[in-house]
A = this chain, B = another copy of it.
């Protein structure tokens, strides 16, 4: 099949690789309808993570079941499914506790930007729609494989409450989905930190009540004014850098929690400040499967339209252009059509 592969920093290609096949009874092969590029794909792209030269890349997709292993009984060829980037059996102690991202049989989608993808725990991971969804819904359904579920996880772990103030650090696709999540959860004030007009616009559409274009100390000042000197009830850290984390802790009110979902890179946590102000940290890799039924319902009933984060759609052939566009922040998030 044709699949996106990475060979070195900034060297993204479309290569012919072996088709995924069923090797375990829990496997399923998915024919990808749509995949996309994740902010976290940019870490290896920028050379900040190790690269296994020639390996496939891409962990977000939706598609149609092509073939299933013998233990997969709830899905059959032809089903349209959302594929959580983190595969889980949904039966182990960690899954039952709602932490499917720490499943004892954890697996990951490895070729989401490709013609086919393998799911290692299909029965526990996949969620299907009733029949083929309308093409207009595909982008929003695709976000449920990672980005929307991750933004939702940030809001859940930050403890967003109805009537409270939620601050979202990061205006990437995850941050924007975090804005949407905080809005749906009923936060009265939803503050998006963003200096980019197209992102501000989506943030507003997703329910941001305030936009703060400032950074660092100036951002903290602006947020303290918005919260009347108290600080935010919940902070969603959707970047993963030290600067973003510092801002998150600076604006959290005493007793609040920073919900973090950006893969941490070079982060040093301000533990003294956390201690003195009782500001907690929670979050991590999103247990996508946990949120899927609820999020699918919200998409299908039209309550949320997270697919708006895709501002560029490219055929698989041009996937390298998609990486460049995201790297240069010309695109928020790129949908790839195999």
Q: Is the interface of A mostly helix, strand, loop or mixed?
A: mixed
Is residue A15 within 8 Å, beta carbon to beta carbon, of the partner chain? no
List residues of chain B with CB within 8 A of the CB of A94: 230, 253-255
A254 surroundings in chain B (CB, below 8 A): 94, 97, 99, 101-102
Looking at the assembled complex, report how far the CB atom of A161 sits from the nearest CB atom of chain B, in whole angstroms: 12
Contact in complex: B283, A280 (CB < 8 Å)? yes
Q: A93-B230, A264-B275 are in contact. Are A257 and B282 (CB under 8 A)?
A: yes
Least CB separation from A287: chain B residue? B278
Q: In the assembly, how many copies of this chain are there?
A: 2
Query: Which of B101, B263, B264, B269 meets A278, CB within 8 Å?
Result: B101
Does B274 lie within 8 Å of A281, measured CB to CB? yes
0/1 interface trace, chain A 91-109, chain B, CB 8 Å (1 if under): 0011001110110000000
What residues of B have a CB within 8 angstroms of the CB of A253 in the complex? Answer: 93-94, 97
A99 touches B271 (CB 8 A): no
C-alpha gap A281/B245 in the complex (Å): 14
State the CA gap A21–B275 with chains docked (Å): 31
Interface residues of A (CB under 8 A from B): 93-94, 97-99, 101-102, 157, 230, 253-255, 257, 260, 263-264, 267, 269, 271-272, 274-285, 287
User: Would you mind naming 14 contact pairs between A and B with Cβ atoms under 8 Å apart?
Assistant: A97-B253, A97-B255, A99-B254, A102-B254, A102-B255, A260-B275, A264-B275, A267-B271, A269-B271, A278-B287, A280-B281, A280-B283, A281-B282, A282-B282
